[in-house]
């Protein structure tokens, strides 16, 4: 229900995945979302296998690093999306490469709002971090890969605010520019120690403005972190983003530095056949599961979940 609530609010932003319908059957909940087929922004450290492969992940994995203009473009679109969520008092909390998609034209689309925190005022903090047990335990390969983007205060289960999103953006931008997350180690305990206690290594192959931005975003003290006072505006007017015309960016008038190799908006090539070849076993047409008392009870557990757009905005 929290994810549905966020999806209902973000329909006005060009770099957030949009909701077309939500509905429920006797035993399942469904979201009908934008189809985003350009790939996922990200990279896999050597030796991690294919646990988290996918779209900006896929492109960065092939190229190892992005040149600064390309990384700046992606970071600007991500920052504008996060700033919009913050303006609605929503903290995203789950920025990581596999949640950063590219559409068929090469623009960023953020997805997966299951860990969002609503109702957090600009000066407010929270210490809760709702999610699946797997996300909370921070154990195993998947969790180690995910947790390397989390801010120190979250790892320490301390109070945090919307600046957790700017820390995560700093981690993702660092990865785009340098090829690995800023505190990566194959040893999970060492990686956590790096996040909590080590300064990021800022090599000189990135501009002074880029290194300054990363240093500001990756401040371990959230009160000293870039964005702690004026949120998105502190990033928007940072010298690193001086080449960006923000109005044109929002109107998608800035040409993406990379256009995915897709034949059109329905191309499937960036999706693993493991998924595209799955049968549609949960289709409403073939949903013949017996309706038991427990199923009827479950069907009433999510009142108000279903949504359909106005008739003049019907999904085609």
DSSP structure class, residue 99:
G
Indicate the SS3 state at residue 260. coil
Q: Which of 168, 176, 181 is nearest to 235 (CA)?
A: 168
Q: 180 forms bridges with which residues in the sheet? A: none
- Exposed, middle or buried by CB within 10 Å (0-12, 13-18, 19+), for 148? buried
CB 220 within 8 A of CB 214: no
Strands, DSSP E only, in 84-222? Answer: 90-91, 100-102, 108-110, 117-118
Q: Which of 51, 69, 76 is nearest to 61 (CA)?
A: 51
Strands, DSSP E only, in the chain? Answer: 19-24, 29-33, 39-40, 90-91, 100-102, 108-110, 117-118
- Exposed, middle or buried by CB within 10 Å (0-12, 13-18, 19+), for 245? exposed
Q: Which of 88, 72, 81 is nearest to 18 (CA)?
A: 81
Catalytic residues: 94
Indicate the SS3 state at residue 117. strand
SS3 content of the chain, % helix, strand, coil (to 5): 40, 10, 50
Work out the angle at residue 26's Cα, subtended by the Cα atoms of residues 24 and 32, and round it to the nearest 5 degrees. 20
CA torsion 146-126-111-309 (nearest 10°) is: 160
């Amino acid at each position: 229900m929290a994810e549905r609530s966020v999806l209902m609010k973000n329909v006005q932003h060009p770099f957030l995945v949009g909701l077309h319908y939500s509905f429920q059957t006797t035993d399942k909940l469904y979201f009908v979302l934008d189809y985003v087929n350009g790939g996922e922004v990200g990279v896999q450290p050597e030796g991690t296998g294919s646990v988290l492969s996918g779209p900006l992940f896929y492109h960065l994995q092939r190229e190892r690093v992005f040149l600064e203009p390309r990384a700046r473009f992606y970071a600007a679109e991500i920052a504008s999306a996060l700033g919009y969520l913050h303006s609605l008092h929503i903290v995203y909390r789950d920025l990581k490469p596999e949640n950063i998609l590219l559409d068929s034209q090469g623009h960023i689309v953020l997805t997966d709002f299951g860990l969002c925190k609503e109702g957090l005022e600009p000066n407010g903090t929270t210490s809760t971090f709702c999610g699946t047990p797997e996300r909370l335990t921070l154990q195993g390969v998947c969790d180690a890969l995910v947790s390397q983007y989390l801010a120190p205060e979250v790892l320490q289960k301390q109070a945090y605010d919307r600046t957790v999103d700017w820390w995560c953006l700093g981690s993702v931008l660092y990865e785009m520019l340098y090829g690995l997350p800023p505190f990566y180690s194959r040893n999970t305990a060492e990686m956590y120690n790096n996040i909590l206690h080590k300064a990021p290594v800022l090599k000189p192959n990135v501009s002074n403005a880029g290194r300054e931005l990363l240093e500001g975003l990756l401040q371990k003290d959230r009160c000293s972190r870039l964005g702690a006072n004026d949120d998105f505006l502190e990033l928007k007017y940072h010298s690193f983003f001086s080449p960006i015309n923000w109005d044109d960016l929002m109107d998608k008038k800035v040409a993406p530095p990379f256009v995915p190799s897709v034949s059109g908006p329905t191309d499937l090539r960036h999706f693993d056949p493991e998924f595209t070849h799955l049968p549609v076993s949960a289709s409403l047409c073939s949903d013949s599961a017996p309706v038991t008392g427990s199923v009827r009870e479950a069907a009433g557990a999510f009142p108000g979940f279903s949504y359909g757009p106005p008739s003049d905005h019907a999904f085609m």
